[in-house]
Chains A and B, each alone.
Chain A
């Protein structure tokens, strides 16, 4: 059974701080890792994907992947109230069409 573990939160951070969201996964064959943002009542939207160990930066977002420890994280720098949403992580085994999604972490950025 492939599983993804995320703390459901809510994670509350002040505006301007760094928000750190974490995700662990069970399948050592996982090759592709994704972060999605879902605003309340809306559909998920892709924020970042990462395939290799290390860091990948895109604007205020940094994804960090550590395959040996089986975790992936998302850092949001200079958090804004508009970042308040649920963040879903997902992974796919190598060569798979099917992602496994976590249940998401609720992030609240307060002014």
Chain B
């Protein structure tokens, strides 16, 4: 069966510090991968998605970036965090086809001080 791992579960970072969140999927190949952010009491905001190694599509211009160095690894980064970057970050995967349901990791709760 397929599993998705996302870490860390919680993170407290000062403003201006860098960020690296990692997500890996097991038990499948060629998944589509996604990063979302969910602010408190708000809906899901798609940040990035990837349909293959090295292929990244950005949905929202911001100080975040994403990379996919391996087929089942997706990384969310920032060089300098802003207060507005606080939120619940979720990684998700789908089978490598269109119109597929999303399967979410456990999420990372990021607080910026």
Residues of A within 8 A of B (CB): 31-32, 34, 36, 41-46, 49, 51, 88, 90, 92, 94-99, 101-104
Contacts and interface: CB of A to CB of B under 8 A. Distances in A.
A88 B44 CA distance: 9
Interface of B: 32, 42-44, 46, 49, 51, 59, 90, 94, 98-107, 109
Contacts of A34: 101-102
Contacts of A101: 43-44
Given A43-B90, A104-B43, A99 B102 contact: yes
Contacts of B59: 98
16 contacts: A32-B100, A36-B102, A42-B106, A43-B90, A43-B104, A43-B106, A43-B107, A44-B44, A44-B102, A44-B104, A46-B102, A92-B98, A94-B99, A97-B51, A103-B42, A103-B43
Given A43-B90, A94-B98, A97-B32, 17 more contacts: A32-B99, A36-B102, A42-B106, A43-B104, A44-B104, A45-B104, A46-B101, A46-B103, A49-B101, A51-B99, A88-B44, A92-B98, A96-B99, A97-B49, A97-B51, A98-B46, A98-B49
